[in-house]
Structure 1
Amino acid sequence: MKTRVILSLLFLLSLGSVRAADLFVEAESFSNKGGWKVDQQFMDLMGSPYLLAHGMGVPVDDASTEVTFPEKGEYYVYVRTYNWTSPWKKGEGPGKFSLSVGGKKMTSPLGAEGSAWMWQIAGKVSVKNLKTVIKLHDLTGFDGRCDAIYFTTEAGKMPPSDIKELEAFRRQALGLPDEAPVAGEYDLVVVGAGIAGMSAAVSAGRLGCKVALINDRPVVGGNNSSEIRVHLGGRIEEGTYKELGGLQKEFGPEKGGNAQPAEYYEDQKKMDWLAGEKNVSLFLNYRAIGVTKEGDKITSVVVKHIENGKELKFEAPLFSDCTGDGTIGYLAGADYRMGREGRDEYGESIAPEKADKLTMGSSVQWYSVDNKKSSPFPEFSYGVEFNDKNCEKVMMGEWTWETGMNFDQIKDFERIRDYGMLVVYSNWSYLKNRMKENDQYKNRKLGWVAYVAGKRESRRLMGDYILKEDDITKNVSHEDASFATTWSIDLHWQDPKNSEHFPGNEFKAVTKHILIHPYAVPYRCLYSRNVENLFMAGRNISVTHVALGTVRVMRTTGMMGEVVGMAASLCKKYDVTPRGVYRSHLEDLKTLMKEGVNKKGLPNNQRYNEGGILKDKPVVQ
């Protein structure tokens, strides 16, 4: 009798120790993504890249992948998703999709409830084959989003919602190692492959540096890529160092225009150009997620692949932050600013009387095409109502469609991008479905709507010098004068007419161009004042909000990159920091800027969108 009791207890204990079987699947890792897009823009905010059903009102093709379950049985299914219109309208949203497992459709719709990223219960499924195909089926074409899918045999076992806890859960579920492997040995690591980053990498590479160029999208070019479609702006061949900007004659698109067909932006030309650089290794689809330091120096940058989650560590004596958002500087503790300085801080007449957090906004550009026949568009009304008085009676929207000036361009960026898409769809729906005299729109359909937002301003990393209004308007001379900025002081603010109809929720911008004389910007604006081995090039350099209005255009940021690459080669040659180049090797840098790193004899094919300039005074050196 005693033996039987002991055996019974052992049996019960063994039952209690049986662990639930579970399977965690990242949506962005699906082998067949169909018409869904990988969106990594907000992984720092919500924890991960995700799949986006960006069909502009037409359902996209299914995404599918084969998974291997740990065992057969009954599984509870959870899907992490987000009702993206919830900030503007309570209730069911437009981003609906369904999930099928082994051909069985789960609870539908997903993605249309709640008000934050959440684990939505998708139902229960009986798994009879360990290898099973799962599919995401878009129901609307209106940007449904799926981050991950979790299967478990244990009732009520749901992954955590807290971002930090979820990250730990993710790593354990996916078996990710604690330490990322080192990717290789490099002299310079450039993070961000927009025009500035591309130019920095090639400039340094041609001067003998081994360079890693990291980009978190599948194409390079940043705002000038086919994903965002902003044309290059500003002038090259200006000032004392006329060879600066010459690289752009090698890779720059030859057609101008915002929000134009994809071929205008010549993505492949840029990719081929980088592929021809023997000292530059391009790492596509990797996003920087961490930095390690020793004292005031960065020792490595850790990056994560946006589809397979693979992490790599890049070690180097030098780094260049060309992310636009100043991500590397921020992670490394670099001094930075956001928003507008007050008028008294730097004596800037254009600045507001008091400092505030306003920035220039982000653009979701779009255009329509003539479909030659009647083209319906679904009714779309999710919290922003249009009528004959407030609608935009247009067939495309470029830079003036700008959102988020009164929001944080880092912390609120998903909301900012989503609002940009929301107003495009809402306005188009009104033009197509409810405007009385709309014959001109009946045969038109949306041809392209950006889902990667074009950002103008966020963090500005502080250097040994901060460029300000007086430098530019009074032609203040600096011994370390480098690239010439030529664009007007071009600062955007909310369109007053748009504000009348949408106070606090504007989506249109205006500007006033204040023309300048071409002005040579100090080299000291291109490296961090408190992180010893960090360069920066792009819209995140050391300037005030007012001064950003001139240096932020892409031909100018490309010249910044060239100067950074040259300075990096001198850091390697003389074993000095970026500041050491200024203190001890400025004449060497001037020689390199005069010679340039570009192929000589090429015609200037960058004559579009140069902007107006004042010509009665020379560039001050």
Structure 2
Amino acid sequence: MTLNRRSFLRATSGIAGALSFSPWLLAAAQNSDVGADVVIIGGSLGGCAAAIAALRRGKRVVMTEETDWLGGQLTSQIVPPDEHGFIETRGANASYRKFRNDVRDYYRQNYPLTDAAKAKPNLNPGNGSVSRLCHEPRVAVAVFNETLAPYLQSGQLTLLLEHVPVQADMDGDRVGSVTVRSLKSGDEKTLTAPYFIDATELGDLLPLTGTEYITGAEAKSDTHELHAAEVANPANQQAFTVCFPLQYVAGENFVGDKPADYDFWRDYVPALTPPWSGKLLDLSYSSPRDLKPKKLGFDPTGAATAGTLNLWNYRRIVDANNFLPGSVPGSTTLVNWPQNDYVLGNLIDVSEAEKQKHIAQAKQLSLSLFYWLQTECPRADGGAGFPGLRLVPEMAGTTDGMAKYPYVRESRRILAEFTVTELHVGAQQRAEIVGKAEKNMKAAPFADSVGVGSYHIDLHPSSGGNNYIDFASLPFQIPLGSLIPRRVENLIPACKNIGTTHLSNGCYRLHPVEWGIGEAAGCLASYALETKATPRAIRASADKLADFQRGLVAEGVEISWEQS
């Protein structure tokens, strides 16, 4: 049967219910004080993985989230997963692969897919080239909600959406409590637990708890990294991006008013070293590996673009060919491109007013890019602009069609018991250290490994004026020492706030690695409670460390590539 737009909405009406917890599921304590075994501040991808791990081990969990969507970079930031090429079979935890399969099953059960699409074991709903699983963010939200619903119903999990941390009380080197405030009502709750997990996008608990941390770029004299800066600059941080879904409907004209800051962004040339290729709103950019000007293509019909990457296909999250004729208005891509990377300021360690100013300006950049694509983007036929492009607010979960939260590439990072550097994972520097050809290299082995990952070291242009820094790394491990602060005993990072450097963060920041970090954090807090040993003591004891790692492996955590 051919479904029209209204039929499609009826067929997927279950999605709307899955996107918001019903009142009995949101059984957040009415009291101002809420206790648990583990408090997770931040519903990022790492936060969700940490919660699932701790709940699986029978722990009582309170989790907060700044937005009304769980999942961080995968959902509220709308970024399809960036993954390595082996992801379907190795190099990620079993729970991460289960999540990916659950996303595919959700499409099969709730969306009007073609028979051919339903039959694909490795269904890619958008057929985007960046990932083997490019999908709508709201489907990931629905999967998280379904996964957590039994724990919410039983009371094992308390979820506080649209809450942010505002204060922490310390008892020596331990976090005693964290106070969170509702963004809707202004009411505050004080959360207590033996262990706290910082799963925020920016490492928000670190300054509140006085946990020592670092930001920005370190000096080569401090880290001895081949590609490090000569002089440290804490304010030199990677660009963030306000992403947005973009749909194309042939024959339509959705061109509206020009954005307020369009004239500025239309003529803006990033002041970077080495120089950018020209204007930011252009189909040329600096190729990340050699920084030479490189031409990109854009054609929302999905057609090939003269030997260049078609940006439309790159992060496409809906491919109309996967759906029954007439069931979707058109294909949809996710715009997270060089053209909307924002480098004019940071979100970390600035006033709230400055933070919001930069987010607003980054949103204006994205709106300007959208308008430029509608009106001025060069077409293969010699014309300009694609007026059939439209924003898709219903996919973003917002009124303006922009993501709920900026896509953050760099966070505060704890000063850890062990810091991963380029020396441990960079292909070129490993070759220089070991003295073998790069093709025979392996990343440094970590005896305290609690996970694995693989991605090149990928730093986008920065607020300090750096162009891309992009070079090869080697499949790596996640050392437990990078999750343990040097001083504070009961605070565990769960995402980009672990002990990495400005450079090594570039390969530890992607979706499956953040999931692995979060799962390790949730398991670590649980094991610490079960053994009455601190994370520091667990790492220091050969017997306890080995026992902890055996438990991880039994739960489907990959701690070595040989194990894969």
Q: Would the TM-score normalized by the shorter structure come out above 0.5?
A: yes
Q: Distance in 1 between matches of 2:197 and 2:366?
A: 36
Tell me by how many angstroms 1:269 deviates. 1.3
RMSD, matched Cα: 3.4
Kept in 1: contact 2:373–2:386 (CA 8 A): yes
Q: What is the aligned partner in structure 2 of residue 321 from structure 1?
A: 198
CA positional deviation for 1:226: 5.2
Q: Is 1:490 aligned to 2:490, yes or no?
A: no
- Alignment match, 2:266: 386
Using a 3 Å threshold, how does the CA distance of structure 1 residues 302 and 381 change in structure 2: closer, same or farther? closer
Q: Judge conservation of contact 2:254–2:388 (CA < 8 Å) in 1.
A: yes
1:444 to 349, 364, 389: 389
| Amino acid across the alignment from 1:576 | A
Q: Does 1:554 align with 2:511?
A: yes
SS, match of residue 366 in structure 2: helix
Aligned match of 2:295: none
Letter of the aligned partner of 2:424 in structure 1? Answer: D
Report matched runs for 1:282-293 at 5 Å: 282-293=159-170
SS of residue in 2 equivalent to 1:386: helix
Distance 1:451 1:515 in 2: 32
Residue type at the aligned position of 2:248: V
Measured after TM superposition, the shift of residue 232 of structure 1 is 4.7
Name which of structure 1's ranges 580-589 and 335-344 shifts more when overlaid on structure 2.
580-589
Q: How far apart in 1 are the matches of 2:511 and 2:265?
A: 35
* Partner Cα distance (2:267, 2:242) in 1: 21
| Alpha-carbon distance, 1:331 to partner | 0.4
1:130-529 equivalent positions in 2, closer than 5 A:
181-225=31-75, 227-234=77-84, 235=87, 238=90, 243=94, 245-246=96-97, 248-249=99-100, 251=102, 255=124, 257=128, 262=136, 265-277=139-151, 278=154, 279-356=156-233, 357-366=235-244, 367-370=246-249, 372-382=251-261, 384=264, 386=266, 390=279, 391-392=281-282, 394=298, 397-405=335-343, 407-410=345-348, 411=350, 412-430=354-372, 432=374, 438=383, 440-447=385-392, 448-473=401-426, 474=430, 475-493=443-461, 510=468, 512-516=470-474, 518-529=475-486
In 2, the alpha carbon distance for the partners of 1:274 and 1:358 equals: 38
CA pair 298-336 structure 1, distance change in 2 beyond 3 A: same
Structure 2: how far apart are the matches of 1:273 and 1:407?
37
Question: Secondary structure in 1 aligned to 2:225?
Answer: coil
- Gap change, CA 1:406 and 1:485, over 3 Å in 2: farther
In the alignment, the residues of structure 2 paired with residue 327 and residue 187 of structure 1 have an alpha-carbon distance, to the nearest angstrom, of 20
- 2:555 corresponds to 1:596: yes
SS at match of 1:449: coil
Structure 2 vs 1, CA of residues 381 and 322 (structure 1 numbering), >3 Å: closer, same or farther? closer
C-alpha separation in 2, matches of 1:308 and 1:467 = 41
Deviation string 1:152-171 (CA, Å, 9 cap, x unpaired) is: xxxxxxxxxxxxxxxxxxxx
Question: The residue matched to 2:492 in structure 1 has which SS?
Answer: strand
- Which amino acid in the other structure matches residue 562 of structure 1? E
Give secondary structure in 1 for the equivalent of 2:461.
strand
- Alpha-carbon shift at residue 204 of structure 1 (Å): 1.4
Assess if the C-alpha contact under 8 Å between 2:166 and 2:179 holds in 1.
Answer: yes
Q: After alignment, is 527-536 or 422-431 more displaced?
A: 422-431
Q: How many residues align?
A: 413
- Aligned-partner Cα distance in 2 for 1:438–1:199: 47
Q: 1:441 to 1:352 in 2, by over 3 A?
A: same
In 2: Cα distance, 1:505 partner to 1:487 partner: 24
Q: For structure 1, which segment, 377-386 or 537-546, has the greater mean C-alpha deviation from structure 2 after superposition?
A: 377-386
Say which SS state the counterpart of residue 498 (structure 2) adopts. Answer: coil
Normalised to the residue count of structure 1, the TM-score between the two structures is 0.60
Task: Give the Å deviation of 1:220.
Answer: 0.4
| Poorly superposed stretches of 4+, deviation over 6 Å | 258-261, 434-437
Contact 2:93 2:556 in 1 (8 A): no
State how far apart, in whole Å, the 2-side matches of 1:247 and 1:223 are.
18
Indicate how the Cα distance of structure 1 residues 302 and 371 shifts in structure 2: closer, same or farther if over 3 A, else same: farther
Counterparts of 1:529 and 1:582 in 2: how far apart (Å)?
12
Give 3-state SS (helix, strand or coil) of 2:170's partner: strand
- Against the structure 1 CA distance between its residues 387 and 525, is the aligned structure 2 distance closer, same or farther, given a 3 Å change threshold? closer
What letter is aligned with 1:266? A
1:619: how far off?
5.6
CA deviation digits over 1:75-119, x for unaligned, max 9?
Answer: xxxxxxxxxxxxxxxxxxxxxxxxxxxxxxxxxxxxxxxxxxxxx
Deviation, 1:552, is 0.5
- Note if contact 2:259-2:367 (Cα within 8 Å) is conserved in structure 1: yes
Between the aligned partners of 2:101 and 2:523, the Cα distance in structure 1 is: 18
Question: Please, which runs of 5 or more residues in structure 1 have no aligned partner?
Answer: 1-179, 495-503, 599-603, 605-616
Assess, with a 3 A threshold, how the Cα gap between structure 1 residues 443 and 276 changes in structure 2: closer, same or farther. same
Asked if the contact 1:236–1:556 (Cα under 8 Å) also holds between the matched residues in 2, the reply is no
- Using a 3 Å threshold, how does the CA distance of structure 1 residues 377 and 371 change in structure 2: closer, same or farther? farther
After TM superposition, give the deviation of residue 340 of structure 1 in Å. 0.7
Do the aligned residues in 1 keep the contact of 2:236 with 2:464 (CA within 8 Å)? no
Distance (whole Å) between structure 2 residues aligned to residue 237 and residue 430 of structure 1: 41
Q: What CA distance in whole angstroms lies between the structure 1 residues aligned with 2:410 and 2:516? A: 19
Gaps of 5+ in 2: 1-29, 105-122, 269-277, 284-297, 301-311, 313-334, 393-400, 431-442
Q: Which has the higher strand share?
A: 1
AA at the equivalent of 1:462: L
